[in-house]
Amino acid sequence: MSGLHAERLTVQLGKATVLHDVTLAVPSGWTAIVGPNGAGKSTLLRCLAGLLTPRSGEVRLDGRPLARHTPRERAQRIAWLAQQGEATGELSSREVVQLGRLPQLGLFAEPGPRDHAIVQQAMADAECEAWAERRLHELSGGERQRVLLARALAVDAPFLLLDEPTTHLDPPHQVALVRLFQRLARERTVVSVLHDLSLALQADHLVVMQAGRVRAVGPAGDDEVHARLQEVFGHALRIERIGERFVAIPYLD
Ligand SMILES: Nc1ncnc2c1ncn2[C@@H]1O[C@H](COP(=O)(O)OP(=O)(O)OP(=O)(O)O)[C@@H](O)[C@H]1O
């Protein structure tokens, strides 16, 4: 069975059980994971990336338990963007993006023309070429976020998992990211945790989480999924249709 599957994941962090028996076949295309603070979105994403080991259950990548893939195999197949982008010392933005090629190249291989082309494309897609030679710690939050996104894109992996990729981004760059995910999702599986529900509603699929459980999985335009979203967020949220699209409006009654 190809793809990424979470099977009956239960995760304990400290004294709390933060995922309860979660099963999810990650759909192909672009999936947005949504839900209130503390719902377990990042925890699920980290399990899918192999960064967190559940107390019980397992993640399967192309039919094989993730734990039975070597770390390098996992890094080649699953690209990851963390919620809190780390500072990467004195490296320039371009060097940080080049690090994205490491899983495919190994430590000692020289990057070839294809690697350079992938890095260039990743920087163009993330719109961070303008500060390619500047060091990461000299950049603004949004600029740094776009470099770290480019590094994840440069892995050129079939699975791209992103925790809050729109953090620090202004509205035009949020929209650009939605378009990018829609384009990438034709060829790879993209999974993003998103708080902005209007952006999440542009994904192919939504996973709605609450209190460590998956409450709904389905197409982002599906009425049932919207009903679960409404339940999870209560009166603070209104979902409206504008033309072909849905938007989510924080609602002050
Ligand atoms: N290291 C930890 N030790 C104990 N509890 C933790 C730890 N990390 C996270 N948690 C708890 O696990 C639960 C799920 O956290 P998680 O980060 O997955 O939620 P989330 O849905 O991504 O939240 P947010 O929207 O606020 O980012 C939360 O209640 C959180 O307090």
- Locate the domains of the chain by residue range: 4-250
CA distances from 195 to 11, 29, 50, 138 (A): 22, 19, 22, 27
**What six digits make up the tokens of 45?**
């994403």
The pLDDT assigned to 86 comes to: 65
Which pLDDT tens digit goes with each residue over 40-77? Answer: 999 999 999 999 999 999 999 999 999 899 999 999 99
d(C-alpha 224, C-alpha 247), whole Å: 16
Nearest Cα residue to 94 out of 54, 134, 139:
134
d(C-alpha 17, C-alpha 78), whole Å: 26
Centre of ligand 1 from the C-alpha of residue 209, in Å: 12
Average pLDDT estimate for 81-101: 83
Which pLDDT tens digit goes with each residue over 190-247? Answer: 999 999 999 999 999 999 999 999 999 999 999 999 999 999 998 788 888 988 888 8
The pLDDT assigned to 37 comes to: 93
ipTM of the complex: 0.97
Maximum average pLDDT range among 58-62, 136-140, 248-252: 58-62
| Cα three-residue angle 198-202-205, rounded to 5 degrees | 115
Within 10 A of 100 (CB to CB), how many other CB atoms are there? 24
Query: The pTM is what?
Result: 0.93
With the most atoms of ligand 1 within 8 angstroms of its CB, the residue from 9, 22, 33, 43 to mutate is 43
H or E element at residue 246: strand 245-250
CA distances from 116 to 72, 101, 108, 213 (A): 21, 9, 16, 42
43 contact partners, CB below 8 Å, separation of at least 6: 11, 13, 18, 19, 52, 212
Please state the atom number of ligand 1 nearest to the C-alpha of residue 163.
22
Q: Which architecture, in CATH terms, is 4-250?
A: 3-Layer(aba) Sandwich (3.40)
Q: Which residues pair with 189 in a beta bridge?
A: 159
Place of tokens 């339940």: 231
**Which residue has the least CA distance to atom 30 on ligand 1?**
38
Residue 114 DSSP code: H
Please state the atom number of ligand 1 nearest to the C-alpha of residue 43.
18
